[in-house]
Amino acid sequence: MKYRAWPKAELHCHLDGALRPATAEELAREQGIDLPRPLRLVAPADCPSQAAYIAYFDHAIAVLQTAAALERASFELGVDSAAENIDYLEVRWAPRLHLGRGLTVPEVIAAVLAGLAAAPLRAVAIVCAMRQHSPEENVTLAREAGRFAGHGVVGFDLAGDEVRYPAAPQRPAFEAARAAGLRLTCHAGEAGQPSSVEEALGLGVERIAHGVIGARDPRIVERVRSEGVVLDLCPTA
């Protein structure tokens, strides 16, 4: 099939999961970052757990700690997406993971939006909160992201290890994001029990990232259907 030639919309793209390996290596050298080489950027197909899989984002995050690096990575992602005939792109990432070299959350968001704005396609951003961060930290994040509503940021998400960190305590952050004018989605149903998908539904989301484990419980399947919640599902090769 001529899949690359089809016009497409990409609704689930992680900035730190789509960094060009050559760019990551160059940024690590420029910034003098002491990491094992080659950088660990691609998880194996047989990753033993969601937590192990998430660890493969660490090296990309480590080199994306400056405004210039974030802007470059966002721009290159837009260029690469356009080359695959994607004309609408939603990019998500967790700004609070990019504060290691002194950036503020608004500076991180602004850098990513600048890179996306320069790319040759329509690209918008979804700000991710992390499950391991406190509800208070994520409420603040939601309010800061909301200042960019209508200016490139369209949504608010929750990601991270769902086995260790339930979603329900983060409800205040989702309420703050909704009040700020952002649409709501949540990573759930990648690990653990079907109840994690129901927790995400309790946050008032319109979309769930993945959600596949919820299929084990017919009651949750019916709730997803009846509430009109959309699942982001990745096709197999």
* Rounded Cα–Cα distance for residues 192 and 181 (Å): 31
Q: Is 190 a catalytic residue?
A: yes
* Rounded Cα–Cα distance for residues 235 and 237 (Å): 7
b/e map of 140-154 (b: 16 or more CB within 10 Å)? bbbebbbebbeebbb
* Rounded Cα–Cα distance for residues 122 and 108 (Å): 20
For 3, 4, 12, 86, 121, the CA distances from 8, given in Å and listed in that order, are 9, 9, 12, 5, 11
Helices (H), the chain: 21-31, 50-54, 58-63, 67-83, 105-118, 135-146, 171-179, 195-201, 218-226
Host H or E run for residue 55 = none
Amino acid at 176: A
Residue from 71, 144, 162, 190 carrying the catalytic annotation: 190
Active site residues: 190
